[in-house]
Structure 1
Amino acid sequence: MLSLRAVNHYYGDRHTLWNVDLDLIPGTCTCVMGLPGMGKTTLVNCISGYLPVESGSMTWQEVGAAPLNLLQVKMEDRPAMGIACVPQEKRIFSQLTVEENLQIAWLAVGEPGSAVTR
């Protein structure tokens, strides 16, 4: 499970995420929706570790394991935990399906198999 509590982010002096609270439960599908500029990508980039979190907490907990402070986990170590982002840009293989692109991403972090079933 991923839990965010009072997460804040700034671009310079511009406050972009305001006290975000969010629980992502294993086995469920969560959708973050909003107009352009509302912070959806910023939120995902903070969770992925691409952007720093100014304040608040992010806790990652595998089933049967102790909670882990995600803010202390390096960005490059998060994909091996199952935390990754595939940007909506031309960095995908257009001739492959979504599932095939995800499988390649998992292979890149050393975990063969289908990312869709994770």
Structure 2
Amino acid sequence: MIHLNLVVIRTDRQEEQVRFYSTLGITFTHHRHGNGPYHYSGDLNGLTFEIYPLPKDATAADTTTRLGFTVENLHETLKTLEELGVETVQAPASTEWGYVAVVKDADGRKVELVENLIK
């Protein structure tokens, strides 16, 4: 059996990313391991989601990775994200996977938000 337990994104906009992902329901702590860089870490039911600074030789964050999260209330989540100035790429729509919208995080990464209507 395989289980995903770590996702790390790198950014030069850590505080903006913490606000964005906190809106989705992730609670972060700010810390570092040994001599490594300070970063933010949150736990999602056994998955560690971390926001690290860009490496010194990087000029921009990777925006090709697409992330997806299940949220309790899609409309309320989108409303809060819009107040932060977040761009909605795909308006909410009912799909076979649930009620889905796509937004962009502070770096421009596409993030799929799904409200599972079957409870």
- Does TM, scored on the shorter chain, surpass 0.5? no
Structure with the higher fraction of residues in strand conformation: 2
> What TM-score do you get using the length of structure 1 for normalisation?
0.25
> What TM-score do you get using the length of structure 2 for normalisation?
0.25
Q: Which has the higher contact order (CA 8 A, sep 6+)?
A: 2
Structure with the higher fraction of residues in helix conformation: 1
